[in-house]
């Protein structure tokens, strides 16, 4: 047997059977996964997936922007940054009634998780009070709740938990080494600190990254290593494919080969076998065949609806037709 494959098989076995301590992954081990023949990688990913998940079910989530534009950060991919000239119009925080109305529609269309995003560096206390009210009302509909609000101050995560928040999304975006190429207005440690507060408050962590930002395969491996070595690793891992928006610094970046994106999904699944791996931004740019490969590689959650914050999502009818072709059940 190939010694690299044998070593990875043992690592996967360790991941599956350890009850009290998650296996640790080095960047070199994760690069070895990326470098596997495609068929071997997909086989391992599907095998790991089936250890913890029904291979033919898919969770549907809907993401709404509850406060759009005007963000003071300089994330190079984001059309909501105030300093970039994009077509995104600033919008104040939506009312509770507007968000709840959108949540009802999402539930009627099959979503079981409702995610709320706000373009802030971090929420002010008055914002937390309003968001808490929204969370309580959305939660009362029987939906899982998720929020992405930026950096949290001490005590804010606990308030969100009390309101009924199930998941907090705060992506690492990329590796620590590549981070300054993408963002300069906050440090990597700021993101880690917010994740620690979320964990301490007892909220599930939703944390992933973006690929296709001009990074190397080694950078992608280093991102996955950061995620997989969180203790514990995130319950929810969104993998985003860069959606290039004119006016942002990353517009015009050479596009990442979509089979490399599928590899990234597979590596995330192998290294974080119990997590929900989310096929997130960029899905509109993917053919049905590429999406099917992502599901085969271990993606078992998608964002569903017209928009993913400020960029388009595949039409609901098209999604339903694809699920039927693939024999996927939604939960």
Give the tens place of pLDDT for each residue, 203-243. Answer: 999 999 999 999 999 999 999 999 999 999 999 999 999 99
Determine whether 294 is an active site residue. Answer: no
Tell me the average pLDDT of the chain: 87
2, pLDDT greater than 60: no
**What length is written for the chain?**
331
- Rounded-to-10 torsion of CA 104, 132, 184, 254: -10
Which residues touch 78 (CB under 8 Å, ≥6 apart)?
71, 84, 248
How many whole angstroms separate alpha carbon 6 and alpha carbon 120?
Answer: 46
Nearest to 196 by CA among 234, 142, 222: 234
How many whole angstroms separate alpha carbon 8 and alpha carbon 126?
Answer: 49
Domains annotated on the chain, with CATH: 3-15+26-330 (3.20.20.70)
Ramachandran angles phi, psi of 319, nearest 5°: -60, -45
How many whole angstroms separate alpha carbon 28 and alpha carbon 37?
Answer: 16
Determine whether 71 is an active site residue. Answer: yes
Q: Output DSSP code: residue 21.
A: S
Per the DSSP assignment, residues forming a β-bridge with 190 are: none
How many whole angstroms separate alpha carbon 256 and alpha carbon 34?
Answer: 14
Whole-number CA gyration radius for the chain: 19
Determine whether 15 is an active site residue. Answer: no
Give me the pLDDT at residue 20, please.
33
pLDDT band at 281 (very low <50, low <70, confident <90, very high): confident
Q: One of 15, 71, 207, 294 is an active-site residue; which one? A: 71
The percent of residues in the chain predicted with pLDDT above 90, rounded, is 66
Kindly report, residue by residue over 12-26, the tens digit of the pLDDT.
433 333 333 455 899
pTM listed for this prediction? 0.87
Kindly report, residue by residue over 81-120, the tens digit of the pLDDT.
767 777 777 778 899 999 999 999 999 888 899 999 988 8
pLDDT band at 308 (very low <50, low <70, confident <90, very high): very low
Q: One of 146, 220, 269, 283 is an active-site residue; which one? A: 146
Are 103 and 138 within 8 A, CB to CB?
A: yes
């Amino acid at each position: 047997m190939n010694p690299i494959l044998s070593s990875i098989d043992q690592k996967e076995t360790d991941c599956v059977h350890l009850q009290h301590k998650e296996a640790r992954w080095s960047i070199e081990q994760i690069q070895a996964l990326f470098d596997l023949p495609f068929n071997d990688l997909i086989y391992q990913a599907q095998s790991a997936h089936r250890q913890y998940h029904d291979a033919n079910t898919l969770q549907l989530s809907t993401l709404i922007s509850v406060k759009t534009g005007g963000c003071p950060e300089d994330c190079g991919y984001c059309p909501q940054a105030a300093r970039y000239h994009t077509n995104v119009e600033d919008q104040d925080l939506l009312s509770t009634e507007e968000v709840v109305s959108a949540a009802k529609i999402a539930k009627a269309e099959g979503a079981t998780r409702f995610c709320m995003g706000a373009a802030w560096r971090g929420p002010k206390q008055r914002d937390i009070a309003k968001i808490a009210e929204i969370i309580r009302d959305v939660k009362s509909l029987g939906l899982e709740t998720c929020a992405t609000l930026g950096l949290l101050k001490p005590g804010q995560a606990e308030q969100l938990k009390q309101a009924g928040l199930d998941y907090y999304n705060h992506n690492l975006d990329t590796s620590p080494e590549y981070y300054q190429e993408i963002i300069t207005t906050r440090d990597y440690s700021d993101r880690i600190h917010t994740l620690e507060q979320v964990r301490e408050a007892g909220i599930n962590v939703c944390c992933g990254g973006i690929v296709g930002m001009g990074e190397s395969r080694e950078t992608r491996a280093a991102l996955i290593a950061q995620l997989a070595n969180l203790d514990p690793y995130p319950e929810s891992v969104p993998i985003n494919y860069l959606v290039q928006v004119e006016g942002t610094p990353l517009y015009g970046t050479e596009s990442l080969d979509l089979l490399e994106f599928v590899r990234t999904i597979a590596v995330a699944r192998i290294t974080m076998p119990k997590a929900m791996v989310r096929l997130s931004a960029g899905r509109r740019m993917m053919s049905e065949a590429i999406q099917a490969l992502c599901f085969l590689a271990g993606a078992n959650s998608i964002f569903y609806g017209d928009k993913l914050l400020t960029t388009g999502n595949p039409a609901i009818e098209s999604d339903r037709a694809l699920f039927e072709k693939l024999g996927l059940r939604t939960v």
